[in-house]
Amino acid sequence: MTKHNESFTHRNFAAVLQKYKYDLNLGDIVAGTIFSFELNGVLVDIGTPISAYLPIQEVSSNQELNNFNSLNINDTREFFLLDYNVESKQLILSIRRLEYIRAWKRIRQLLAEDSLIDVKIKGFNKGGMIINLEGISGFVPNSHLNNFHQNNPSTNKFIKLKLLNVEEKSNNLILSHRRALIAQASSNLIVGNIIEGVINQITPYGLFIKSGNLKGLVHISEINVKQVERITSKFKIGDTIKAVIIHVDKKQGRLSLSMKHLK
């Protein structure tokens, strides 16, 4: 019933609307009232001579709601005008597409405001965490997760995140827990302040330390010269050290530290 002619173009659609004197365009948001449930969809009165049709697969982008359970007879709400069925001469509606458009509008607003947001955790894979933001699937790389990992029993719970990379055209949504932690602690993260942390990684280019929920790097150039020559023997994982904050990268959620300027 819902199949439409693949060769049916936007120009054809406009011609049909003109023929039936519909004051509508493909992509319009229209108000309608549900009045009948069919086997694979819903009939909706949008004020046109022939009732519009909402296929079940267009009910919602949320799999839990992508059925008739969220709809009722006499419900009046907004729909996205998706297509035209040549055979049934019906306009095809979508709630799913409307949700998608509004979700990205909200995400663009969150990005512009650089908001700290609570996001639902959907699960984990080898690369990081899968989340749901405004009904859109997103990803938090392991490098931006800090204390969260695949074995953490956090599925279906919420985590505070900040947006890291947003590409609407490719439906790409990358977020950071590390950025959120930096934002929450920002009042104490002032360049020149001394923090205390525990070394959790030693590399040829410096020391990674953990201070509370935050991570920082003391680059080898910021360690006293005498110490650089014997960094692996001077320090060990688990040591507690003090360092001066020399840079706070709020965009990437990173702290740059120095041991050279300790008094």
Residues 6+ apart with CB under 8 A from 235: 199, 202, 207, 227, 241
- Where do we find the tokens 């296929």? 55
Q: What is the pLDDT, as a whole number, of residue 18?
A: 60
Q: Are 133 and 119 in contact (CB under 8 A)?
A: yes
pTM: 0.69
Q: What is the DSSP letter of 30?
A: E
Question: What number is the average pLDDT over the span 57-77?
Answer: 78
Which pLDDT band holds residue 8 (cuts at 50, 70, 90)?
very low
Instruction: Tell me the torsion sign for CA atoms 100, 105, 106, 110.
Output: positive
Residue 23 has pLDDT above 90, yes or no: no
- Where do we find the tokens 């894979």? 125
Q: What's at 241, amino acid-wise?
A: I
109 to each of 102, 126, 183, how far by Cα in Å?
11, 30, 18
Which pLDDT band holds residue 36 (cuts at 50, 70, 90)?
very high
Q: What is the DSSP letter of 46?
A: -
Architecture of domain 114-180: Beta Barrel (2.40)
Domain boundaries, the chain: 10-98, 114-180, 185-258
- Please provide the CATH number assigned to the domain covering 10-98: 2.40.50.140
The yes/no answer on whether domain 185-258 falls in CATH 2.40.50.140 is yes
Same fold, 114-180 and 185-258: yes
Question: What number is the average pLDDT over the span 121-145?
Answer: 91
Residue 2 has pLDDT above 60, yes or no: no
